[in-house]
Chains A and B, each alone.
Chain A
Amino acid sequence: GGIITQTPKFLIGQEGQKLTLKCQQNFNHDTMYWYRQDSGKGLRLIYYSITENDLQKGDLSEGYDASREKKSSFSLTVTSAQKNEMAVFLCASSPKGSGNTLYFGEGSRLIVV
């Protein structure tokens, strides 16, 4: 088995600040994803990456940057934190040939003060 580790679990920052969330997986999966979870809105795709150094925009990419430095890690940066961005950010990965079955981390909660 494997695990997806998201750090930090809680990220507190000020409005306008640049904030970064990190995700590591030891499944050796090729594809990794970042989703934003808001109550009543489901999970919305921010960015995903099919392989190292690849980046694909999702439906909610504006205001975010992402980086896939190596196969096992995928980071997400909020370029200028806003109070309406307070949400839980979920990282996931999927193995080849699984129809994009997702394995999720436990999430990082962003708090903007």
Chain B
Amino acid sequence: GDSVTQTEGLVTLTEGLPVMLNCTYQSTYSPFLFWYVQHLNEAPKLLLKSFTDNKRPEHQGFHATLHKSSSSFHLQKSSAQLSDSALYYCALSDLNNNNAPRFGAGTKLSVKP
């Protein structure tokens, strides 16, 4: 079945440094990948999602590239801000199977001054 792996439970870094949060997946059919962000005491909300035409999605300085050869969709940002501190979830939806999205365990990003 479909699954998502986020290997880092907690990432702590200093403001201004680059961010990379890992996401790998297993999918039987045509995967659609998402990153959701959840700030403290708020609902998760969509940060970005993969395109079917291999374009690189970007939002609020974050970007991610779907690499089917390595089954990865890592989230990156060139310079972390204090306001980026939050919980980040990678999720997978299988287009051909109309399966509900499955999530990774989440990565807590903590940005320090």
Contacts and interface: CB of A to CB of B under 8 A. Distances in A.
A104 B103 CA distance: 14
Contacts, number: 59
Interface string A41-54: 11111001010000
A99 B49 contact: yes
Contact of A42 (B32, B49, B95, B103): B103
Nearest to A6: B43
Interface in A48-97: 48, 50, 56, 58-59, 90
B97 to A, nearest CB: 11
Q: How large is the interface on A (under 10, 10 to 19, 20 to 34, 35 or more residues)?
A: 20 to 34
Given A42-B105, A90-B44, A100 B32 contact: yes
B70 to A, nearest CB: 21
A54 to B, nearest CB: 12
Interface of B: 6, 9, 32, 34, 36, 42-46, 49, 89, 91, 93, 95, 98-106
Interface of A: 4, 31, 33, 35, 40-45, 48, 50, 56, 58-59, 90, 99-107
